[in-house]
Amino acid sequence: MTNVLLAIDEAEDRVNRQLETLEDLALADGASVTALYVFSDNPSGASVNQLKTARRAEERLEAAGYDVTLDERSGEPGEEILTHAAENDVDLICLAGRKRSPTGKALFGSVTQDVILGTDRPVLIAGNDPEE
């Protein structure tokens, strides 16, 4: 069984691109996806279940046949994504790319770079919509 870590944020466009990317993959039946949100600062005690993007991810992925879990952590996003991936022996980490200027396209965002450089696991980057 394939175990995917979907690292989400509150940006609907990025999460939608991640969901489209996973929906297009031909993963084996019974694949599981954990949608992980990392709270950098959470003074109000919010839960991942309260996030629109997390609920949308859960709905769409379940409709696509995935076994879905919502999870949350607190701390630095890159570190927490890597820790979760190691603790849960994930097979694939899925992140969202951000739209960048031509100069900035040579670099990924800091969280994406941290994850890519900090793991030996496959990392799938859901790119930008070509019409953007």
State the DSSP string of 31-76.
-EEEEEEEES--TT---GGG-HHHHHHHHHHHHTT-EEEEEEEES-
Instruction: Note whether 36 and 7 are within 8 A (CB).
Output: yes
Residue-averaged pLDDT of the chain: 86
Strand partners, 92: 4
In the chain, what are the domain boundaries? 3-126
Query: pLDDT tens, 57-100?
Result: 999 999 988 999 999 999 999 999 999 999 999 999 999 976 65
pLDDT of amino acid 99: 61
Q: Does domain 3-126 have CATH number 3.40.228.10?
A: no
